[in-house]
Amino acid sequence: MVHMSMPPTLKAMSYQAIYAYGNFICVANAKEHLIINDYGVMAIFEQECVLGSNDQRPIRVKLEYVGWVEEILELNYGVLNIVVLL
């Protein structure tokens, strides 16, 4: 278990392209300079939804997101590096 009480360093690394999470990912504006076009992303999130404030039976739904990467940042927490796609 990693202890996360340490804040990230003040300087984040920014990338135009990176190999992370088992995939090659690049930002959308870098596609003009590259032969490949791996800047699209797709994710599925689950969320509990209710019809109103009195709804006693929330349902779990899947929300799909499709978009592109505009920025790639790497945050350094000392013992842990996290890649963030924006």
Q: Give the pLDDT confidence score for residue 35 in this predicted structure.
A: 59
pLDDT digit string, tens, across residues 47-74: 888 888 888 888 999 989 888 888 989 8
pLDDT digit string, tens, across residues 24-52: 888 877 656 655 556 677 888 898 888 88
Largest CA distance in the chain: 54
DSSP secondary structure code for residue 11 in this structure? -
Encoded amino acid at 34, one letter: L
How far apart are the C-alpha atoms of 80 and 51, rounded to whole Å?
A: 40
Q: Give the pLDDT confidence score for residue 32 in this predicted structure.
A: 62
